[in-house]
Structures are given as C-alpha cells and as structure tokens.
Chain A
C-alpha cells in the first residue's frame, strides 16, 4: 500500500525466508512507524511455504505481496525487475529495502534504473530526518562512512546483514497475503546448470554472526582445517585474508577486505592475520574483534577488543576445547 516500507524477501530457494529478513523487516517497521506507514514483505519466488509466510508475519510483515511463479527461479534480473517496477508503480511504497546478497544487490540496482530512483547499497544505518530517509554506508571498504539521502521516493536501499536489530517476534501472527498481479516478461537468459559448493555445514561468510578468519600465519592451505574445526563448534563461517587467498590457499569467495567481502559479524576471530589496511577496512565494523597472532606489533591488535599474543597452532585447538566446554553446559 502507499507509504509502505517494502522488504524484498531473500529466501533459501526452498520457500523459506532467510534470517536476515527479520533484520530488514525490523528496521522497516521502526522507520515506518515514524512516517505513518507499515512494513510489508514482497516475495518473488517459485514456491512459498506456509511456514515461510507465517515467519514473515512473525518478523513484522503487516502484509505480504506474493508473486509466485516458476519463472522467478533461478533469479534473473530481467524477469524480476519489470515485475517489481510494476508493483511499485501500482502501489507507490515509500521505500523498497533488500538485503545485501548477490541477487538483491543486482535487482535493486536494476529497479533503481528503471524507476529513476536513488539506491544506497550496503547500508549500515537508516534514519528518517525531516521527513527524508538518510542512510549511512561504508565507503572505501569501510575506511570512511558516507551519509546519503534521496531526491525523491521510493527510497531504495540494501541493508547489510547482522547490523540491524530484528523487531520482537510476534508469535502466532497470521500473515495477510495478497497475490501480486503483474505482467510476467519473457526471459533472454537461460540456466544451464547450478554447481553447488560442497556443503561444509558452515554459514555463508556475508551472513554469518561469527567469522573465524585465517591469514599468512596459517602457513599453508592444509592448516585451514584447524579453523574449520573451531568454526563448526561455534557455528562460524571461515574467511581468509588477501594474502592467504592470493597464495591460493582459499578460494576468492572467502576473502575478507577491500577486494573481497566487507563484513560486520557479531564476533570476529582472526588467526595469523597481521592486519593490512585493506583487511582491517573489511572487518573493523564487527561488534567484537579477537586477534591471535605471534607478533605483538601486528596492526590488528590496535583494533582488537581482545588479543592473545601466541602461536595460533597452539591457541586455536585450546580455544576450540574451551568453546566446546562452554557450549555443552
């Protein structure tokens, strides 16, 4: 409806919204309360689940606009964008929010171009000031923050995971679902295959609440098992420094820093990472930073909340043991 804060649903491709949607809907609800609107979910999917719809309502979606069609999977910008644009033009929402994921970053950029609207990608704070939305977003991979505002609505933004607070869950909320009516465009691009990564059982780097990361101090690719083993205990993703990636020890998608992922987990544990400026930029917005390094002069200690000067090969297994003890309690 007019004045609503729309939240484009990111799902697990199995009909369930991802956890980051609790954060996006939570922020949308808080902002909407200030402008007299409400948080609504917009879900383009090949198949939504009943549980997923209920979940969105519990997370604060006052209404769900559901567009269900096989053409929406896998994601293709040329199919999603015209449908989203038509819905926006029909209902005039105040804002359209997405999560920072590969497909949502792309579709929000395309939507901005189609609507001639402003887009703030990878926002880490949002506020309504004098009736206008103001977003704060890291630039130069997090070396500075930029405050931006929009010339007109709809305000388009993607929100970084782990930064925004979910609303208190509304247990037992009943979803209000409206089927979207929009023209489905033809598609030029076609899927050949999807190659799954070997399932590690560990969360995605960009979305993980805890990140364990390794650098040159790991000494070789074979030693990342030490970090993976620790990560399994605490439910963390495993990242790497550029030095480790450029040495071919880890695939590029695990790189944290200016030419990799910029992350803001609740807890970051760096092992054998000295802290080059490009790496620090990519993780310094983490809530709690721990560094384990042999060199007491390593720059990472300057931004760490907790540091252990020591041999990671000795400390990492000990930490794993201690975490295991704690979590078994």
Chain B
C-alpha cells in the first residue's frame, strides 16, 4: 500500500516571529525550521500503517523553497522511503487553492491509497489544504482524526474524527484523504541509522510545469502582516489571598465588565 504524506516546513514553535522589510513576509533570519507538528503525526501514522502491514511505501511530499529539503530529509530519517519536493518560484505566492492544486496533481501522478495531512500547518494556520485536495480529487475525507485502522485488504480505512462534543467514527473507502489531530500518536525520533540512511534516499524535484500548474494565480493574497496591538498595562492585585480574590472579582464586574 502506497501512502503519501503531505508536509510543510514551518518556524519552530518557540520562534518570536517578526515582520521583514517586505510587510507581506516574516524575517527568516535566525529561524529554526521544523516539520509542522501535526504533519509529524501524519508521518508517524503512515509509518505505523506500513509497519503493521509489513509492506508498502511512504512518500513524503512538500511544497516550498530550497530549505524545505531539510524537512523532507527529517521525514526520510523517520522512515519515509522517498520524497518529492515541489520547488518552483511559480509557487512563491501560493495560497490554499494553488497549493491544493499542486498537491492534488502530485497525488494523481503517484496514485497512493491514502493521502495523510496534518490538521493544519502552524504558520498560516489555515487548516484548509487537506480538505481542498480531497475535493479536487473527488476523494472522501475525514479531518482531525484521533485514531485509524486500515482493513486487511487495504480497501477501506476506519477513522475517528474529533468533533465538538465527541468522536465520530467513519468507514471511508480508499483512496481517501485524512488529516491528523494531536493525540493520534507520539511521533518517533529519528535514529542515527535513520539519519544516515536518509542521506541516500531519493528527493525528487518537481516544477510547476511538470504538473501542468502555474497558469492560475492565488485566489487569496496577503496584503500585509501586522504586529498585534500591545495590551494595556495590567495590574497586580496586592494583599492577602482572600482580599485579593474579592478585589479581583469586584474589578472583573465593575471595571472590566467581564462577568
């Protein structure tokens, strides 16, 4: 069974993100780049499916500039078999739809049984590409999955998707798209052997023209990034605990009108 995992490289969560001289972009100086955490859950789950079945292929796919090779290398070190890098300046301004079209085109070429995404990339937090790809492919889709099992024949997947107030368990015929929510698994750390082995694995570069893409521009574009307005200075309430608690509740009602 072939599984494609679609990953994005993002700044580490501890990064203080700053706006660059181009107001539409962040200052990338000094940033540590990582595989988006939800995408790591997706990679881990793909590897587990392969290991459980005792056969199959896991292919990591990512769209982005040259530095993205490093993220793909991390996926290979975890255990993915090979990688595809969508690398083309034509995708520099890619929004949800452009990205989804490019990824859907790769999926059509590769014809996997399953396309695994993270529930959202933690940079632009759009959380839309996985479902958009499912729509473009005409495949069933379950977002925010917390558990899964593929049937023995490799024809269907049973997933539990997180919804407000509970978990909905669905059977989806394959091929299908699913996206990983935190809690699905605990991603492994690459072993030294994995890291060494990753250097020999293939990362194929793909250009927009190879996929017949690039003619259409973005449907949504960034006008500018802004810092958050500073919060007004706060107040530490002094005094004994009982007194402070009384004063806080009074302030919340009378000053802040928050309760």
Residues of A with Cβ closer than 8 Å to B? 74-78, 81, 101-103, 105-114, 116-122, 134, 136-152, 188-197, 204, 206-207, 210, 234, 251-253, 255, 258-260, 262, 266-267, 276-278, 284-285, 287-290, 296, 301-311, 314-315, 318-319, 321-323, 325-327
Contacts and interface: CB of A to CB of B under 8 A. Distances in A.
Contact of A103 (B11, B163, B219): B163
Contacts of B246: 318, 322
Interface in B17-62: 17, 19, 26, 37-38
Contacts of A109: 96, 127-132, 135
A118 B220 contact: yes
A112 B97 contact: yes
Interface residues of B, number: 85
Interface stretch (B106-114, B194-202, B250-258): B250-258
Contact of A146 (B14, B165, B222): B222
Contacts of B122: 140-141, 258-259
Majority DSSP secondary structure for residues of B touching A: mixed
- Nearest 9 Cβ contacts at the A-B interface: A118-B220, A109-B128, A118-B219, A113-B132, A318-B245, A252-B183, A109-B131, A113-B135, A322-B249
A263 B80 CA distance: 35
B156 to A, nearest CB: 10
Given A109-B96, A120-B220, A141 B251 contact: no
Contacts of A319: 245, 248-249
Nearest to B130: A109
Contacts of A287: 258
Given A145-B227, A190-B171, A322-B249, 16 more contacts: A110-B132, A113-B100, A118-B95, A121-B128, A141-B13, A143-B228, A144-B19, A147-B225, A149-B223, A152-B219, A191-B168, A194-B166, A259-B122, A306-B235, A308-B237, A323-B259
Interface in B129-184: 129-136, 140-144, 158, 160-173, 176, 181-183
B67 interface: no
Contacts of B181: 252
Interface of B: 11, 13-17, 19, 26, 37-38, 95-97, 100, 122-136, 140-144, 158, 160-173, 176, 181-183, 216-228, 231-232, 234-237, 241-242, 244-246, 248-249, 251-253, 256, 258-259
Contacts of A108: 128
Contact of B182 (A101, A118, A151, A252): A252
Contacts of B236: 296, 301, 307-309
Contact of A308 (B135, B221, B245): B245
A305 B183 contact: no
Nearest to B235: A306
Contacts of A196: 165-166
A258 B258 CA distance: 25
Contact of A303 (B217, B227, B231): B231
A108 B131 CA distance: 9
B13 A259 contact: yes
Nearest to A194: B168
A208 to B, nearest CB: 11
Contacts of B26: 140, 144
A310 B231 contact: no
Contacts of B143: 102, 105-106
Contacts of A120: 220
B168 A139 contact: no
Contacts of A285: 228
Contact of B222 (A77, A117, A148, A267): A148
Contacts of B244: 308, 310, 315
A180 to B, nearest CB: 20
7 contacts: A121-B126, A143-B228, A189-B171, A252-B183, A262-B125, A323-B249, A326-B259
Contacts of B234: 289, 301-307
A105 B127 CA distance: 8
Of the candidates B14, B127, B135, B172, the one having the most CB atoms from chain A within 10 angstroms of its own CB is B135
Given A109-B132, A139-B123, A192-B170, A151 B222 contact: no
A193 B169 contact: yes
B140 to A, nearest CB: 4
Given A77-B134, A234-B259, A288 B144 contact: no
Contacts of B95: 118
A152 B258 CA distance: 39
A112 B131 CA distance: 10
Contacts of B164: 101-102, 204, 206-207
